[in-house]
Structure 1
Amino acid sequence: MTTLTLPSVLAFDRKLEPSDALMYSGNWENINTNKEWQAIELFDRRNRAVKSNFKQEILDDEDELQKQIAEANLAWGDDAGLNHEHDTLKLSFTLRIINGLNQPSVCNKVEFESVYREKIASYVESGIEELANRYAYNIANGRFLWRNRVGSQKVKITVNHSSLSEPLIFDAYDHSLKNTSSEHKSVMILAQLIQKGLATDESVLLTIDAYSNLGKGQRIWPSQEMVLNSVKGEKSRHLFSLNGIAAMHCEKIGNALRTIDDWYPQFSETQSPIAIEAYGSVTQRGVAYRSTKNDFKSLLLKWLNAEGNDGITEDDKHFVVAMLIRGGVFGEGES
């Protein structure tokens, strides 16, 4: 058998497509109704703050340091919070689960695609259930709320689908962020829906609402926009909104849903799952947990070049397929 190499052109479409998430203000007692929720609008916050971050040359010059400390640090940016009569944040988005794992969206090497189709078909029959459960678990635990989950008194998640007679309801705190899967009955039902979307021709669209009981008037955390070449003296923090409603980026929701990688070598030390990335990159920590031996491309080629369905462990197969679900451009030379 000829050793396969990566095609020069290889790409996979994303299979989990969350929408942007809109943010509303209301009260916990009204989480079972849609009538009492008020769209949250951004507002400007201007503060006269204290400078506390200096270059080393300033720290070495006592006179200049004292001069700069005496100057105010004028801060101007977007902010958002609950109405002062409301105690609960509602976050709403939809999630589309798309099939098509059986073939790349683009591949210019016939031999590669032929072997890929054979291997992935076998995996979908036996292994996709594990990934579906992990994605379902990250919906149930409300990981996608990010800072809006931290310190909340109560967090409830509801999931609707056309096949359900009533919504699936989860108490997020019953599902620890340190774990990645569960045999909880409602998690299993949700996992079956996700598995159906990934493995069959039936499209699946979920409607997801999360309720976080933060306290009256509490600050909430929309996504922050990246601003290039910000002008000094202008607004320095720009938050995301849609049609005037505070919101979270679909990319941020997606990152939370794919935080299922507890197969990387250092997990026994960190005890923290990371998002599915080709090299296990965690930018907040400045670390890439997957070396060139257990990164996505290395494991994919090792799997495809192995006889039968061996070559890599089941955990490595889960990681590889999770990367395919994540999607991306993976041709030779692409990174």
Structure 2
Amino acid sequence: MNQQNILFTNNTAQAIDTAINNIRPNGIFVLTDKNTAVDVWPQVKAESTMMSEATLITINPGDTNKDLKSATLIWENLINGGATRHSAMICLGGGMITDIGGFTASTFKRGIKFINMPTTLLSAVDAAVGGKTGINFNGLKNEIGVFSPASHVIISTRFFNTLQKRELLSGYAEMLKHGLIDSAATFHKLIDSDPLEIDAGHMLELLKASVEIKRRIVNDDPYEQGIRRALNLGHTAGHALESLAMKKGKPVPHGYAVAWGCIIELILSHTHCGFPTNTLRNAAQYIFSHYGTPDINCSDYQDLLEFMHHDKKNISSECINFTMLSNVGRINIDRTATESEIKTALDIFRDLAGA
């Protein structure tokens, strides 16, 4: 897998023009959702010389629309707009847009180049970086997708002022995960800060440090054969919580589910790998105070287990695969837990949350 060219800058117009000049496509298509098309696209188009002639493709917002229907709509727009194998797509938006945009670009005519321009903290720190693309299918998160890195990722904090509180917190959860797998110093720097009070300059510094953690791991293991699985901390349980919320018709932000998933998996880490109790309690206190608690009870456990069994990381049908930690920064990939152990972890999770 080719390494991504990641640019950290608030001069987004110059960055996008430079990126397009490097690619030299014969046609430019911009994918965004209908909200970003109103809030961000006019500003980007006005400032960028290269974007003024781009063809805009819009889809409905929200992760529930990261599906085959939206993918088909994108492919149809590319065909109707005369796209060729030498065209390029700019994915302007949050993680949903960079996920589905990367997937549709990578499969259109066996692959056209694409540029990710995340407008949310979550997308900047997670979905836009690392080369994972995909769509949801049959109620399962990211069930269909490919590894395909964007040629460029342009990361900026200038669009974050359009974000609601929950969107900032959602992105910060992925940064907390990166802190947990990196070092105690990184993790404590994050939990000593309030993401809603950080100024744009400081946030860009924290964001760059967080992305560099992910980039280092991805470069070592681009196709998730080993250490890259560390980035899945919180995601096996988190995706199950997210899928359950979608099933109930009460979707939750991805980062909230990951934050809760981290606590569930740190509980399993305590049981299996001796993760320290005090650190677990500190993490849980920070997460619950900022992210609240999920709407689950004992009757939801079987649904959660079924969603976890569908996780792509599983090898055995009997046990469920997790990334665990023996301490902050001490990673144990490919650890498994039984259904009984997971139910116990869910009980402890709800006790810590005060359920």
TM over 0.5: no
Higher-Rg member (1/2): 1
What TM-score do the two structures reach when normalised by structure 2?
Answer: 0.26
Which structure carries more relative contact order (alpha carbon 8 Å, separation 6+)?
Answer: 1
When you count strand as a share of all residues, which structure comes out higher? 1
When you count helix as a share of all residues, which structure comes out higher? 2
What TM-score do the two structures reach when normalised by structure 1?
Answer: 0.27
